[in-house]
Amino acid sequence: MKSHQTTETQTYDAIVIGSGISGGWAAKELCENGLKTLVLERGRNVVHNKDYPTATKNPWELPHRGRLSAEFLKENPLISKSAGIAEDNQHFFIQDKDHPYVQEKPFDWIRGYQVGGKSLTWGRACQRWSEYEFTAPARFGYGIDWPIRYKDIAPWYSHVEEFIGVCGNKDGVESMPDGEFLPPFELNCVEAHLQKSIRDHFGRHLVQARWAHITQPKDIHLQQGRGKCQARNLCMRGCPFGGYFSSVSSTLPWAAKTGKLTIRPHSVVHSIIYDEKKAKASGVRVIDANTKEVIEYFARIIFVNASALNTNLVLLNSKSARFPNGLGNDSGLLGRFVAFHNYRASVGAEMEGFEDQYYFGRNPTEPIIANYRNLKKQDTDYVGGFTTFMGASRTGWWGNTGNEIGAALKKKAQQPGGWTTYMYMQGETIPKEKNHVRLSESETDPWGIPLLITSVEYDDNDNKMVEDFLEQSTVMLEKAGAKNITQYDTHQPPGLDIHEMGGCRMGRDPKTSLLNMWNQLHACKNVFVTDGACMTSTGNQSPSILYMALTARAANYAVQELKKRNL
């Protein structure tokens, strides 16, 4: 492995590790505040529009009409299980051989190594947490208390929503607070029927999708060069219109306009450098992905946004005399209390009637049933809650068996089938010390960095939540008149939710947490962690917009601390 002598040209005000959803926000806020900022990305460069090779292709222009090839499936049994992966976007997912890891217990680790990270392929759901999520672990005794409350993060939610563009409706639901919304996608007739039935019979709230899509661009979106979502529902190819939010279409170009941004792709972060004399981090050690050259970059503050498990890996591998077990790891808890979202359960059903009605466009969003479990008090035999995603559509003519050809087939194609509906859960899981990641002592990756070992599993609480979801969803559909209801529990291993969280959690006490209320390492104040690794608990809402809000809040705090010479 070749070494490289550092120079003054490799010194910045701030370094951001990772260019995904949270890393892009760190870069935007730091650059806007005048900091010369380096963003390190282990994957290749991706430029908005230029590097979306399939964005406007028709199905017949793809070699396998959009399906993953037999060869790809054989070589990638893990990544091919990921939700949404197909022939038209497989280039935004890493292949199984590219970064191996050790599964002590089954865990499907889904990754996207390129500038923009998984912001190019995320689900785009943007529900705010409520006060319930920030207080539930302490109230019900299944975790430590969050060091912040909803009021602390609410202004930053607004800050993020206004910039990225989030559609939705102000519904006044206490368990899922309203935000700064653009007009929502409308419910179709069956979804509206289900909304009314669920509200009337159960007092629960089915709301229009709160999704990171620009339905009616404002000036701030036009300034970014982004336009209205065209409802193509081809988002994971990269959107040439900038209709959905990604780092590549939004935050990174915005940061670049300041003249303060440098992005270095093909940069595998080895570790964070700790200066024993100054008692703080001084920089980041990188291995060039192609040449294996070792390069060191220096900065006054460092943001770690490598995505939750890779952030844990980087911190665990950042060893020094002061921190022999990983940077900031005085408590010994780094890599522990890893959690995720439970997606195992779903229901499907047929809805009779409504056959004189249809819908238009390919709606890229899904309605949401806000969590209704364990809010003010524990009302089940498990702790935590779940968000329910749902939708309804008319089945296609191809679902009807027959032997028609020619004119008869064309006529049949003009007549859609009946309506079907579905619901699936996004369930909170409980952070437990035994659910952890750690470094292998014997195996390394192609760059000489220890492989990550995952040891994460479900528990009885998860199983009880699945049973309750299936029961309650079935009852709600039955009451609405659904027929032929089918229940599913995939029993899939953790990881396919792609919502891994924890390992470097926030808290009030350095003995039980790694980060303070500003996402600073308790023991190394100029290092901030604001991706999923920082999560104290998982809540039940989609977490990405919380990562963005936490990042914006922490970055602005870091700038003020620099001005005060506290860092």
**What pLDDT is stored for residue 397 in this prediction?**
56
Question: Residues of 317-341 as b/e, b for ≥16 C-beta within 10 angstroms?
Answer: bbbbeebeebbbbbbebbbbbbbbb
| Secondary structure of 75-114 as H, E, C letters | HCCCHHHCCCCCCCCHHHCCCHHHCCCEECCCCCCCCCCE
With 0-12 / 13-18 / 19 or more C-beta atoms within 10 angstroms meaning exposed / middle / buried, residue 294 is middle
State the 10-residue block means of pLDDT for the chain, 567 residues long. Answer: 56 98 98 98 98 96 95 96 96 96 98 98 97 97 97 98 98 97 97 98 98 98 98 96 98 98 98 97 98 97 98 98 98 98 98 91 95 97 98 74 74 81 98 98 97 98 98 98 98 97 98 98 98 98 98 98 96
At 397, list the tokens.
């003519």
Exposed, middle or buried: residue 72 (CB in 10 Å: 0-12, 13-18, 19+)?
middle
Cβ atoms 202, 476 nearer than 8 A = yes
The reported pLDDT for the residue numbered 1 is: 44
Strands 267-275 and 345-351: unpaired
Rounded to a whole number of angstroms, the CA Rg of the chain reads 24
- Tell me, what's the pLDDT at 400? 55
What pLDDT is attached to residue 110?
97
Chain-centroid distance, C-alpha 541: 11
pLDDT of residue 408: 80
CATH homologous superfamily of domain 8-563?
FAD/NAD(P)-binding domain (3.50.50.60)
Q: Which of these, 214, 239, 362, 308, lies nearest to 497 by C-alpha position? A: 308
Both tokens assigned to 293: 């050259």
Instruction: Using CB atoms within 10 Å of the CB of residue 415, give its burial: 0 to 12 exposed, 13 to 18 middle, 19+ buried.
Output: exposed
pTM, 2 dp = 0.96
Residues in Cβ contact with 552 at an 8 Å cutoff, skipping those fewer than 6 apart? 25, 29, 156, 159, 160
Which pairs count as long-range contacts for 226-231, CB under 8 Å and 24+ apart, including other chains? Answer: 226/165, 226/250, 229/364, 231/185, 231/361, 231/362, 231/363, 231/364
- pLDDT computed for residue 528 by the predictor: 99
Amino acid 359: pLDDT: 87
Which amino acid does the sequence have at 306? Answer: A
Strand partners, 213: 244
Helix (H) / strand (E) element for 390: namely: strand 386-394
